[in-house]
Amino acid sequence: MRRVRAMGRALGRFGGGSEGSVAVEFGLFAAMLVPVFVLAFDLGFLLRERIVMEHTLRAGIFAAIQPDSTRTTVEDAMQAAFAGQDGARVTLETLSVAESCFCPDAPAQAVSCTATCEPDAVFGAYTISLSLGYDGVLLPSAVQSGLGMLGATIRVEFPAWAR
């Protein structure tokens, strides 16, 4: 009992004054606020890397619509566009370009690029797939891929006679 009273008196000395209470409140608040700021910066970097991905895709689309384009020239243009970006936290995970041809009346059915279609000519298409890996501070990669933020597939169609 005597020890309990002594401990109560010792703790009572701290309860009477208000000096330092603001510092304690700030410390508790700052401990909760720091992860919010880190997450905000992480999301900002993630959005920047999304812009890098879109720039890389645009370079592939531009290369695909050129008259002398091939699957290799499209891939090379995308590799060069990605390398020209300052993506310190991002890696190129997959980059694929597939070339196919189809008839306008049945676009889902692939045909030979030398085939003839009625009534129009054969059309060609590049299907470009790109995915990037992001090394985030707080965001795990599963969250990013679940959001679809750093992956895209696009199909660029063109008349085969333009080749």
Average pLDDT of the residues in 94-99: 85
For 100, residues 6+ apart whose C-beta sits below 8 A from its C-beta are: 110, 124, 125, 127
Query: Looking at the predicted structure, is the pLDDT value of residue 160 above 60?
Result: yes
Give per-residue pLDDT as tens, 56-86. 889 988 988 888 888 899 899 998 888 877 7
Amino acid type, 31: A
Phi, psi (degrees; rounded to nearest 5) at 50: -65, -40
- Angle, helices 71-83 vs 21-64, to 10°: value is 150
Q: Which pTM value belongs to this model? A: 0.69
Query: Looking at the predicted structure, is the pLDDT value of residue 54 above 60?
Result: yes
Query: Looking at the predicted structure, is the pLDDT value of residue 163 above 80?
Result: no
pLDDT at 141 (0 to 100) = 62
Q: Give the Cα separation of 147 and 140 in Å (integer).
A: 11
Q: Give the Cα separation of 103 and 121 in Å (integer).
A: 7
User: Using H for helix, E for strand and C for coil, what is the string for the chain?
Assistant: CHHHHHHHHHHHHHHCCCCCHHHHHHHHHHHHHHHHHHHHHHHHHHHHHHHHHHHHHHHHHHHHCCCCCCHHHHHHHHHHHHHCCCCCCEEEEEEEEEEEEEECCEEEEEECCCCCCCCCCCEEEEEEEEEEEECCCCCCHHHHHHHCCCEEEEEEEEEHHHC
pLDDT at 153 (0 to 100) = 83
Query: Looking at the predicted structure, is the pLDDT value of residue 51 above 60?
Result: yes
pLDDT at 10 (0 to 100) = 64
Give per-residue pLDDT as tens, 99-130. 888 887 777 788 887 777 776 677 888 888 88
Residue 47's pLDDT band (cuts 50, 70, 90): confident
